[in-house]
Amino acid sequence: MTPIAQVLVCVGALLIALAAVGVLRLPDVYLRMHAATKAASLGIAFILSGAAILLDDGVASVKLFVAIVFQFATAPVAAHVIGRAAYKGGVNLWKDNRYDELEGAATEPDDPVTL
């Protein structure tokens, strides 16, 4: 294993562990969603980049980089949908949150909420 690949895989594993700690320790669904999507996406990208460096096959490396692109394309969309569903479902914000930027954005249940 090359040192660069080792560093990438270790950093990715640490970021995923950090995301797991965030999901367990953060107080509300919105903060947990943020930890899960941001840190875990970056962690997966680091791990897949390390795996691509280790592989001698160019086709497999291209597939791994395509997987990274798909991860970065789909994780924010999933987080947006989860956040929107939680907000429209009436999930309360963390008690220490100072303001609600979306308060009053949707008056009816079927009105679109701009997140």
The whole-number average pLDDT for the span 58-85 is 90
Number of domains in the chain: 1
In a domain, 108, yes or no: no
Question: For the chain, what is the mean pLDDT?
Answer: 85
Do 36 and 23 meet the contact criterion of CB atoms below 8 Å apart? yes
Q: Which residue segment(s) compose the domain that 31 sits in?
A: 3-75
Largest CA distance in the chain: 57
44 domain-assigned: yes
Q: Are 29 and 81 in contact (CB under 8 A)?
A: no
pTM: 0.76
Element (H, E) at 24: helix 3-25
Q: Has residue 94 been placed in a domain? A: no
- In a domain, residue 14? The reply is yes
pLDDT recorded at residue 114? 56
In a domain, 107, yes or no: no
Yes or no: say if 66 and 53 are a contact pair by the CB < 8 Å rule: no
